[in-house]
A and B are shown apart, each in its own frame.
Chain A
Amino acid sequence: MENSSIIKIEKLIKRFSVGKSEFTALNDLSLTVERGEFLGLVGPSGSGKTTLLNIIGSLDTPSQGKVTVIDQSIASLSHKQSAKLRNRHIGFIFQTYNLLPVYTVYENVEFALLLQKLSSSVRHKSVMDALEWVGLTDKVKSKPSMLSGGECQRVAIARSMVKRPEIVLADEPTANLDSKNSHHILQTMKDLNKELNTTFIFATHDEKVMKYLNRKISLEDGQIVKDEIIQHSKN
């Protein structure tokens, strides 16, 4: 069973130096995530949610402890190896969408695939599939500036999903969206989670997110204070 865990965190400590002193953002945190989980990190501002996502996504490194993501130890990865891990296996979704403004919807989604040596026809099919998942096939040629916030976030989801990663890390994906769009986005991700068995990890304050989660982890001061499995009657 141990081997099927997609993320394994043992005694993780993350410290930031602030001026001369140090600040401990994650304090002796241990966590195991299985494939296909739809997991939420909740907790007050400053509790360490983003920091944890960044370390899982190999954008940052642990100060201490062991973090294993898809059988790779985050602390020991070179720049190149961590780039490859992100490019092949991890998708990111940000609160502010982070789309590339001069590219079209299509190009934004395609960009994630450009690093992989794929033929353009395979690429085209993947991009169109991803845009279909999020229901944006009619906006292929639009620029992000022409889209609504909800549509932008759907493009970002398509971009994170187009390479069919094992893990998607979403930091406050609904924070800038109204309720209707939030539900739409969450439903889309939930569908992808079921269809492709992609592991989703959210950092969120948003109550709307809660009812979609099947596991909720509460953080406070860099520590896990609660870890709940949520059973949905539907499932």
Chain B
Amino acid sequence: MLSLKLAIKNLLGAGLRTWLNVIALSFAFVLIIFYNGMIDGWNRQSKRDTIDWESGKGQFWHPEYDRYDPYTIEDSHAPLSREILEEIEKKNLAPVLVSQATAYPQGRSIGVTIFGIDPKQTILKLPTATLPASNGTDYAIIGKSMAESANLSVGDNLLIRWRDKNGTFDAREIQIASIFKCDVPIVDKGKIYIAIETLQEMLGMENEATLLVTGEGFEFRELNGWVFKDNDFLLADMEKIIQSKKVSGSILQALLLIIALIAIFDTQVLSIFRRQKEIGTYIALGLTRAQVVGIFTVEGAAHSLLAILLGSAYGIPLFLWLNRTGIAMGYAEDMEFDLPLAEVIYPYYSIRLIIITVIIVIITATIVSYMPARKISKMKPTEALKGKLQ
């Protein structure tokens, strides 16, 4: 009915005050999108990295296996059927045999998990191709953070001690063949990768594996004796933790939004107080009080539209730029993150995120504009026309 154009005119007529409100609200708007976009980008990147390095297109687990319970490892191994071996040959499955062990770098002892993996596999990004075949010496590859915490470099020998399938202790020196860089901590920390055949031989578990990583080419079907875990399951915890960062970040966002909303509220209170004569005039012109409340509400809510326009004006170039260069995470790498964290995060701004943020900003601005405007319906038009204080 009464156009938004008039509301915006009124707002712009208020000059600096309007712009201060709009700037504050646009900060909140841009920050919400920026922060959530960063988390979403991180989440997507982490998922992709974890899929690439660890989970593949899902995994078949030995029924006893539980990756969160090391005590299950000992009993979680089964022979590979002909069907599975064929898929391995076609690079549609990568078998992994897992064992607990103790490593002794420079006389210290640390608990490690040894992953026996097929050096010829191409499903995971793990540089297993850099594992030389055993030639009297057994080789391992490890991640950068494992190398740093155990103070190991390429060519170093590492003594490991494990129990074979009969529970008998055995020990051997293995040589570090290469060190890889991977952003997914669970692939790196406390993990040692050796050729699966070597580990099978060490444990006395010829032709056995703990889990099978599926690749792109695997045509999904049940495999007898194995339990399939899809990526919804495998990535669930990681996703949960990352999403929880959104919650902690939302406190700052909410604070900023509230400050901006208080400013709008304040402006509304003041403008209704100062513009009583105008309110009286509207009523004299034949507007109902509800319509006058509507005018002031729309006017206050229009702050949000201006904020969205202004936010877009500097936000879009900023977001495009960040999307191209990414956000350097710097020293975060050294922190005790258990989440995949790349050096550079590329924020991801989904349509959904943007629409939700726009709606939140408009709705909250409308509410804080409406609250003071309600007072108008209690004004007496004759008093309002006089511009008397209420």
List chain A positions with a Cβ less than 8 A from chain B: 54, 57, 59-60, 79-80, 83-88, 90, 92, 94, 96, 98, 100-103, 107, 111-112, 114-115, 159
How many Å from the CB of B288 to the closest CB on chain A?
Answer: 4
Residues in B with CB closer than 8 Å to A115 are 1, 285-287, 291
Beta-carbon contact of A83 and B288 below 8 Å:
yes
On whether the beta carbons of A103 and B9 are closer than 8 Å, the reply is yes
In the complex, which of the residues B13, B285, B381 contacts A87, with contact meaning CB atoms closer than 8 Å? B285
Q: Digit string of B273-289 for contact with A (CB within 8 Å is 1, else 0)? A: 00001101101111111
Closest to B381 in A: A59
Q: Are A94 and B385 in contact (CB under 8 A)?
A: yes
Residue on B with the closest CB to A114?
B2
Task: Give me the 3 closest cross-chain CB pairs, A-B, nearest first.
Answer: A87-B286, A102-B13, A86-B286
Kindly identify which residue among B289, B291, B382 contacts A60, using a CB–CB cutoff of 8 Å.
Answer: B382
Which residues of the other chain, B, contact A102 by a CB distance below 8 angstroms? 9-10, 12-13
Contact status of A86 and B285, CB under 8 A, knowing A103-B6, A103-B9: yes
* Least CB distance, A15 to chain B, in whole angstroms: 14
Instruction: Give B268-305 interface residues, CB cut-off 8 Å to A.
Output: 277-278, 280-281, 283-289, 291
- Please, which residue of chain B has its CB at the minimum distance from the CB of A55? B382
19 more CB-based (< 8 A) A-B contacts, given A90-B286, A114-B1, A114-B2: A57-B284, A59-B283, A83-B283, A83-B288, A83-B289, A86-B284, A87-B286, A87-B287, A94-B281, A94-B284, A96-B277, A98-B281, A102-B12, A103-B6, A107-B6, A111-B6, A115-B1, A115-B285, A115-B291
Closest residue to B13 on the A side, CB-wise? A102
Count how many pairs of residues, one from A and one from B, have CB atoms less than 8 Å apart in the complex.
67
- In the assembled complex, the Cα of A57 lies from the Cα of B280 at a distance in Å of 12
Please give the distance in Å from A157's CB to the nearest CB on chain B: 14
Q: Closest residue of chain A to B281, judged by CB?
A: A98
Given A98-B281, A102-B9, A59 and B385 touching (CB < 8 A)? yes
Q: Which residues of A contact B287 (CB under 8 A)?
A: 83, 87, 115
Contact sample, A vs B, 17 pairs, CB 8 Å cutoff: A59-B283, A60-B381, A79-B288, A80-B288, A83-B286, A86-B285, A87-B285, A92-B284, A94-B284, A96-B277, A98-B281, A98-B284, A102-B9, A102-B13, A103-B9, A111-B285, A112-B285
In whole angstroms, how far apart are the Cα atoms of A115 and B282 in the complex?
Answer: 11
Give CA–CA (A83, B385) in the complex, Å. Answer: 15
Q: Is the CB of B284 within 8 A of A100?
A: no
Near A by CB (< 8 A), chain B positions 5-24 give 6, 9-10, 12-13
Mask of B200-216 contacts with A, CB within 8 angstroms, 1/0 = 00000000000000000
Q: Which chain A residues border B285 with CB–CB below 8 Å? A: 86-87, 92, 111-112, 115, 159
Chain B residues, CB < 8 A from A114: 1-3
Minimal beta-carbon separation of A115 from chain B (angstroms): 6
Q: Is the CB of A101 within 8 A of B289?
A: no
Bound: A59/B285 CA distance, A? 11
Which A residues are CB-close (under 8 A) to B1? 114-115
Most B CB contacts (10 A, CB to CB) among A57, A84, A100, A112 go to A100
Chain A neighbourhood of B382, CB < 8 A: 54, 59-60
Q: Which residues of A contact B277 (CB under 8 A)?
A: 96, 98
Q: Determine how close the nearest CB of chain B comes to the CB of A57; give it in whole angstroms.
A: 7
Residues of B within 8 A of A88 (CB): 286
A84 — which chain B residues lie within 8 A by C-beta?
286
Residues from chain B with Cβ under 8 Å of A100 in the complex: 278, 281
B16 → A minimal CB distance (Å): 15
Instruction: Provide the bound-state CA to CA distance between A94 and B284, in Å.
Output: 10
B13 touching A101, Cβ below 8 Å: yes
Q: Which residue in chain B gives the minimum CB-CB distance to A110?
A: B6
A101 CA to B3 CA, complexed, in Å? 16
Give the distance to chain B from A183, nearest Cβ to Cβ, in Å.
25
Tell me the minimal C-beta distance from B2 to chain A in angstroms: 6
Residues of A within 8 A of B278 (CB): 98, 100
A164 to chain B, nearest CB (A): 13
Quick one: CB contact mask for B363-381 with A, threshold 8 Å, 1 for yes?
0000000000000000011
